[in-house]
Amino acid sequence: MKKAIYKPTNQNTIILSQTDGYCEILLDNDYKTVSIDDLAFEDEQVKFSTLDELKENIFINCIKNPLSDILYSYNTNRLTPEPHQYKPLIKFLNSENSRVLIADEVGLGKTIEAGMIYKEIDKREELKVSLIIVPSSLTLKWQEELAIRFDEHFEIYKTNQFINFIDEFDRYSSSRLFNEKIIISYHTLRDERVMQKLEDSFFEVDFLIMDEAHTMRNYKTSTFKSGQMITSRSEHILFLTATPVQNSLEDLFNILSLLDNDYFKDFDYFQKMIRPNATIHRLIALIRNSHSLDEIKAFAQEYISNEFPTELQEIFNDIATMQSLPSSKKVEFIDRLTQADHLSFIINRTKKKDVGRSLPRNATSIIVEINEAEQAYYDAVIAFVKFIYPHVPQGFITIMPERMVSSSMLASLESFKKLQRSGKLLVSDVDDLDAEYEDYTIEHEAKRYLDDIIFKGEQIGESDSKFLRFEEVLRDLDSQNIKQKILFSFFKKTLDYLEPKLQNLGYSVGKIHGDFSTEERFAKVKAFKRGEFDILLSSEVGSEGLDMQFCNVVINYDLPWNPMRVEQRIGRIDRIGQQFDKLHIFNLCITGSIEDRIYNRLYTKLGIFENSIGELEPILGDLEKQL
């Protein structure tokens, strides 16, 4: 009897007899007559391989047909990733078009997650051009992180260097090998010369990372248009932002349209597609935050209807019939609800609560009552705003004077004196990361209003009600032996004003804003980490991407229109590795001022985020109740 393999089922068999091109075999305990062509005889079979040959064959097959459930880059990094940091990597490997938005909460390690994905794709494919695009203030941070954690050395290119590289690519991409790893800023990307060069070239990117991707949310800006241009010629794309919804759902749609323009083409359809998300994320929040089973079941029963997809109705029904909800079932339902979110295929969102990293946030709003002289000054500014309003384009410039005065009365007085001398409202006084505004020239008739503002401002003297309330906060923190604090303000003049005031109180102070170079800001943050000063004064340039988990206090001396800016500010301290067991957030607000309106607007915008992406930790405090 001969041994053979029955080819159709690849089973071992025994040949009992052979005649006229047919064989009788024993297969599955039964006798069968089959064609001799369906059999592979023992001497025709492939010989046994050595262990080295087997390894070589497996390696070759993995290169030809990459597997999504085996990590080729495992143990090639200089770090041990947290378990949750594998989630975006698995999602990316299973993505049909190699595009993912990592929207993890601030401080969970999105840079590490991006580095892990880059290393994995680099092991699987030949990457000729790898490009990372970040805000200018983060170029050095990214370069350092990739070198230390992944042994990957990226070059930072300025605008002219990047233009020259595009030229070099066009000339030599077909004749020589490229292995370029480059970091540029959004400022470089949206430069008119760069955009024109990209439009005229055959430049291609194999792996693209765009950090703080929310900067591209407005389709009318040059940042968005440059984002369109670079993503259209990129193969693998990663977007990173903890705050993809800043003002409206359209923000999220615009960002996702850059990732996948085929899927996200129509905003009306997008709104219908994610309509169940508000219910999904509310139910997830109830389960995650350990609300009573009766409350969870009642919520699920309320939304059992034909409005939602069948899979979602099945989840609601399963929850509504539960007699108990142990931890294993909570995890199961949260996972099923997350999968029911129609954005889950392209967005990875991990919360600190999901991974046991959530720290209590003590968010406190400090109400400031101003005196008569300060109120008269504020009223004079309002009169000025009303005068220029019909002549000034609506938006940021219209409210800028009112926001300056509510940020700091005495600091704004210097700005109004400067405005009187120059006749121009200078956007450069503000560090607004989203702004693409131009200075505005004030009409001659407005000068008399400025005269009144300056006169009444000088009547205030040294009195500063907001700073006095701020002093109370500092004394309370000092009594708790809390040494280091970060203070944020929208306005450079406010920071310049606060620096000597705090030094006179005996505090050592550091300061960063847009007038400092990237290198200077980077060095200042490192000095703060070494404990060289007590208080870091920062404008918006310090609110993104910088790690300061050695500190646990954020003071918002003024509030931005955008609640995600507040979350970004808090995110500087609410990070993996935070050394304290509680975070303190203080929001100062002058009652009866524009800050009241800002506060109420922030609450509305927070609702938009939570309905589409998921819940947020406290950022504002109880000011609404106090007002």
- In the chain the first and final C-alpha atoms are separated, in Å, by 95
Which range among 176-180, 237-241, 290-294 has the greatest average pLDDT?
237-241
Q: Is there a contact between 26 and 35 (Cβ–Cβ < 8 Å)? A: no
Please give the class, per CATH, of domain 83-263: alpha beta
Nearest to 475 by CA among 509, 497, 505: 505
Is the pLDDT confidence value at 246 over 90?
no
User: At 339, is the secondary structure helix, strand, or coil?
Assistant: helix
Confidence band, pLDDT 50/70/90 cuts, at residue 305? confident
Domains 83-263 and 361-367+463-625 in one fold: yes
Report how far apart, in Å, the C-alpha atoms of 590 and of each of 206, 465, 593, 606 are: 50, 9, 6, 21
Burial class (CB in 10 A: 0-12, 13-18, 19+), 52: exposed
Question: CA-CA distance, 543 to 433, in Å (whole number)?
Answer: 10
Structure confidence by residue, pLDDT tens digits, 282-293: 888 888 888 898
* Whether the model pTM is above 0.85: no
Mean pLDDT of 47-70: 64
The pLDDT value given to residue 572: 77
The pLDDT value given to residue 433: 47
Is the pLDDT confidence value at 269 over 50?
yes
The fourth-level CATH superfamily of domain 361-367+463-625 is: P-loop containing nucleotide triphosphate hydrolases (3.40.50.300)
Structure confidence by residue, pLDDT tens digits, 518-528: 888 888 888 99
Of 392 and 83, the structure prediction assigns the larger pLDDT to: 83
Domain ranges of the chain: 2-45, 83-263, 272-341, 361-367+463-625, 372-460
